Amino acid sequence: MKRFFLFIALLTLTNAFAQVKQTVTKSTVSYEIKNMGINTSGKFTSLQADIKFDPQQLATSSIEASIETASLNSENDMRDKHLKSEDYFDIVKYPHITMKSVSFKHGSGNNYTGVFNVTIKDKTKTVNVPFTYTETGSNASLFKGSFKIDRTDFGVGGSSMVLAKEATINIEVETTK
């Protein structure tokens, strides 16, 4: 009988810490950067993610995302070809950009900050990503975040004098449970 209660207690404890996996239903990953002083932008259209996020259990929450570099689209074919080349994202050698969560902190309301390891061209940097998490229905949620990176930290674009070092990354992900 003692073993039975121990088993039930263990099962209950395991379920209490289990995370519900969320499935990405829609995503937008866009960037903004100045080139010759003019704002330019684009997006990546292919994101896959393994999201296990529970605002009540941040310590056991996790997000791992992968973006296909070949999905880059700046709505300018010549620029896209250049951005996909060795000088920038080198999509043949580095087909993915990855983000893997390290930790999460709750701010106020639906505001959070995630610490992520971001890897571009085999260079990994730790980045703080402020985001909002909103439950949009009984099984649906929305993540929206924006953060800045220094493109030269990742070897993107070399030492261009006309391209700004700082790029803003905007992410919006809709999920279902």
pLDDT tier, 35 (very low <50, low <70, confident <90, very high otherwise):
very high
CA 154 from centre of chain:
16
% helix / strand / coil in the chain, to the nearest 5? 20, 55, 30
Q: Report the alpha-carbon distance of residue 143 to residue 65 in Å, rounded.
A: 13
> Residue 138's pLDDT is what?
85
Question: How many Å is the Cα radius of gyration of the chain?
Answer: 19
Is residue 73's pLDDT more than 60? yes
Q: Report the alpha-carbon distance of residue 134 to residue 171 in Å, rounded.
A: 14
pLDDT tier, 19 (very low <50, low <70, confident <90, very high otherwise):
low
Domains and CATH numbers, the chain: 19-176 (2.40.128.110)
> Residue 16's pLDDT is what?
42
Q: Report the alpha-carbon distance of residue 68 to residue 19 in Å, rounded.
A: 26
Which residues are CB-neighbours of 32 under 8 A, at least 6 positions away? 39, 40, 41, 167, 168, 170
Is residue 82's pLDDT more than 50? yes
pLDDT tier, 137 (very low <50, low <70, confident <90, very high otherwise):
confident
Closest CA to 156 of 101, 109, 91, 98: 91
Question: pLDDT tens digit string along 42-65?
Answer: 999 999 999 999 999 999 999 999
> Residue 160's pLDDT is what?
86
Mean pLDDT score of the chain, rounded to an integer?
91
Which residues, in sequence order, are bridge partners of residue 70?
none
